[in-house]
Structure 1
Amino acid sequence: MHRTREVIVVGGGLIGSLVAFTLRQAGADVLVLDADRRGVAWRAAAGLLTPDGERLRGPLHVAALESLRRWPALVAQLERSGVPVSFRAGVARMQPGGGVQTTPGEGSLHPPSVVRAARQALEVVTEHVHALVPGGCGMRVRTAAGDWRAQRVVLAAGAWSGAFGVPVTAQRGQALLLRDVPDVGARYGPPARGFSRYALSRPDGLYIGATSSRSESVTPDPRAACWLRGVARRIVPEANGADVAAHLVGLRPVTPDGLPLVAPHPTLPGVFVATGHGRHGALLAPVTAARIVGLMEQGVSA
C-alpha cells in the first residue's frame, strides 16, 4: 500500500470529509484516516442551516452567512456521486406569541448522507491516529497499523482533537429520531433553559433536538429522552406517542471561546486545524473547507 500522500486528513466526519472532498476537487492527492469512534458528532447532528435560528452574532454570524451561500453549489457537487443529501430550503421559527417566522435562504440537510456522498470521491482508511510527528519533508502520521507520511496534514478529529495539542473538549448532545410521523419540514421552537428546541423531517425519521451537557459519555440518558419527548409534544403535536427509532448521542467539539479553530496548528508546521465547531458543524462546513484550501494555496504554515 502506498503510504505517502500529499495531504492526509485526520478525521472523516462532516468537517473532515468535506475538507478532503474540497481539496480533492482542487486537485490534491488526499487520504482520510478515520478512527470510526462511537459518539462522533456527525452521526447525531441535525443538519439545520440556520444562522438566525442559532442566534449567531459577530464574526461567527458572518462566517455562517457565507457558508450558507456556499451550500447549494456544494450540494450539487456532492450529489454527482449519486447519493442525495436531502437539502431542503425553509426553516419555520415559532414565536412566543404563537406566530411563525421564516428567514429566506435557511434550510436543512442530512449529515450522514453528506458524509457518504463526500466519501464516494475519497480514499478513506479506518485507522486510529496516535501522533503527528514532524520529520524530513512533511509529517509522520503514526497509527496502530504503522506510519503514513504526508506533505501536509489537516486535523479534523472533532472532540478528540485535543489529543493533538489544541484546546478542544467534548460537549455531549442528544436527540431523538421518531418514526412514522408526517413530514413537517423544519421547525424551531422558542428556546427553553438555554437549549434550542427544534424538529425536522429527514429520510431516517423526525429528528427532535437537542440537549447539551459537559460530558464525554456516549450512553443515552433517559432524562434527556423525557425532555426531548416534551419538545416533540410542543413543536410537533402530531408526533405525540410516535415510536422512537433511535436515541442519538454525539460529542460536539468545543473551544474555550466557542469559536471554531480553522488555522495552522500552533506548534506543528504543515498541520492545519479544522475543528471546534460545536453545534454548528453542518452550517460552517463549506466555509471551513474553503478556508483550509485557501491557507494551503497561500503556503501558510505555523
Structure 2
Amino acid sequence: MAHNHYDVAIIGGGVIGGSIAFQLAKRNVRTVVLEKERIASQASSAAAGMLGAQSEFASDSPLISLALKSRAMFGQVAEELKQLTGIDIGYVQKGMLKVAVTEGEQKSLQEHYEFWRKMGQPVQWLSASELASLEPNVNPTLKGVMYIAEDGQVSAPHLSLAFAKASMAYGAQWHEFTEVIDIKEQGGLYELRTNQGVIAADAVVVAGGAWSALFLEKTGLSLSIYPVKGECLLVKTEKPLIQATLFAKNGCYLVPKRGGRILIGATSTPHTFDQKVTVQGVTHLLEKAQELVPSIGGAELEKSWAGIRPQTKDGLPYIGKHPHYQNVWLASGHYRNGILLSPLTGVLIADLVEGKGSGELDITPFAVTRHHDAISTV
C-alpha cells in the first residue's frame, strides 16, 4: 500500500463504518476504509437485521429518538442503495410481535405496551383470536402479544455490503485485510500504520465494533466496550410459518427471511471473542423457538453461526469526539442496534466530521467522556 493521503480514514468495515463512508463519499470527502478482515465479516453479517426501534425499548432511553429517526430512514435508504448498487437490502415492513411466554413476562410486556401507547407510537395489544388470525402457526397459549406495525427488518449482510458498494460508487477506497497497528499525530495529520503500509488522513473515525476498545488503548483511551457473543440458527420450512417477526421477552426471536427461511436468535455470552457455535446454544434456541412456533420443530436446520456484538456498561454507544485528539471520532458500541442505527449514525458522524454538529439530536449521552474510565493517561 502506498503512502496515501485522505480526508478521512475509517477504521472498521462493518455496517457502521460502511454507512459513514457512504455519507462522507457522497459529500465528496476523500474517504478510505481500513478493515482487518473482509467487509462486514463480523457482527454486521451475523445480525438478524431487526429494526426494533420500539421492541427494543420498554422505558425512556436517550437512544429512542435516534432509533425512531433511523428506522424512518430505511425506506429511502433501501431505494437509494438499490439504485446505486443493484443490491436489494431485503427491507420488509410486516411488523413485529413482542410476546410473553410466562405470567411474569406478561406484566413486563403490558408495561412495555403502555409505555409506547403513552408515547403516541403505533402499538396494538392482540387478543388470542386476533393473533390466530394474523399468525395461525404461533403458539395460542402465549400470555401476551403486542403488535408493533412499524418495526421491520432488513438483510444485515446485504445492507452492510450495499453501504460499502455505494460508498465505492462515490469514490471511497476500501482496503480489506488491513489492520491498523498504530496511530500518530503530526501537525494535525494522522498517520495510521497498518500491516499493509501507512495511510495519512486529516481525520479518523473508529468504527471497529467490539474491537474498537483494543485499538483505542493505543490512543491512551480506556472505554467500556466489551464483546458479547450471540449464536444464531437458520432453518428452512416447506411453507412460510410466520409473516411478522416474533420477539419474545426472554430474548429469543424468530425473523422470517426469503425462501421459507427463519432466522432464530440469539444466545448472549459476554466478555468473549470466541465464535464457536455450541450444542448448548443450539439446543437452547431450538427449545425457545418451539415454545413460540411449535411446528418449527419439523424445519430443516440449514446453518448456524455466532457473531460478536459490541456492548458498553450502560448500554449506550459511543458517538462523538475523542477527548484528546482534535479530529478523531468514535462510532462504536451499538450492541443489538447497529443495523437499526446505521443510517443515522452515518449522517451524524459525517456531519460531525464536517463541523456541522448534531442538529436537533442531543448526542451528549453518547459522549466518549461520560465514563470515568475514559480518562487518558496520555
Q: What is the TM-score when the length of structure 1 is the normalising length?
A: 0.91
Percentage identity across paired residues of the two chains: 29
Is it true that 1:46 corresponds to 2:48 in the alignment? Answer: yes
| Structure with the higher fraction of residues in strand conformation | 1
Pairwise CA distance, 1:258: 1.1
1:179-235 deviation line (CA, Å, top 9, x unaligned): 34533233224322xxx1111122483100111111221111211100111122122
- Secondary structure of the structure 2 residue equivalent to 1:250: strand
Aligned to 1:239, the other structure's residue is in SS state: helix
d(CA) in 2 for partners of 1:26, 1:277: 25
Residue 77 of structure 1: aligned partner: 80
Question: Following the alignment from structure 1 to structure 2, what is the Cα–Cα distance between the partners of residues 166 and 240?
Answer: 45
Higher helix fraction (1 or 2): 2
The aligned counterpart of 1:93 is 98
| Structure 1 residue 99: Cα displacement | 5.3
Q: Which runs of no fewer than 5 residues in structure 2 stay unpaired?
A: 102-141, 358-367, 369-378
- Which one of 246, 265, 269 corresponds to residue 213 of structure 1? 269
Number of residue pairs the alignment of both structures matches: 298
Q: Secondary structure at the match of 1:176?
A: strand
Residue among 139, 146, 155 paired with 2:197: 146
- Root-mean-square deviation (Å): 2.1
Task: Classify the secondary structure of the residue corresponding to 1:216.
Answer: coil
8 Å contact from structure 2 (residues 327, 353) kept in 1: no
1:135-174 aligned at under 5 Å gives the runs: 135-163=186-214, 164=216, 165-167=221-223, 168-174=225-231
Greater mean deviation of Cα atoms: 37-46 or 13-22: 37-46
User: Does 1:31 pair with 2:32?
Assistant: yes
3-state SS, counterpart of residue 48 of structure 1: coil
Partners of 1:75 and 1:138 in 2: CA distance: 35
Cα deviation 1:56-77 (Å, max 9, x = unaligned): 5321112111111122211221
* Larger of the two Rg values belongs to structure: 2
Whether the 8 Å CA contact 1:189–1:235 is kept in 2: the answer is no
Residues 181, 239 of structure 1: 8 Å contact kept = no
- Give the distance between the partners of 1:191 and 1:100, measured in 2 at CA: 10
User: What is the deviation of 1:256?
Assistant: 1.7
Structure 1 residue 2, shift from structure 2 partner: 6.4
- Given that 1:7 and 1:150 are in contact with CA atoms closer than 8 Å, whether structure 2 keeps it comes out as yes
Which residue is equivalent to 1:109? 154
Specify the code of the residue in structure 2 equivalent to 1:160: W
Once the two structures are TM-superposed, the CA of residue 284 in structure 1 deviates from its matched residue by 1.1
Asked if 1:259 corresponds to 2:319, the answer is no
Superposed displacement of residue 176, structure 1: 0.7
Other-structure match for 1:272: 329
Deviation, structure 1 residue 82: 0.1
The TM-score normalised by the length of structure 2 is: 0.74
TM-superposition CA deviations, 1:120-143 (whole Å, max 9, x none): 132211101112221234211110
Per mean C-alpha deviation after superposition, the further-off stretch among 152-161 and 260-269 is 260-269
Deviates more, 1:55-64 or 1:9-18: 55-64
Q: By how many angstroms is 1:254 displaced?
A: 1.3
Match of 1:66 in 2: 69
Q: Secondary structure at the match of 1:240?
A: helix
CA–CA distance in 2 between the matches of 1:154 and 1:288? Answer: 12
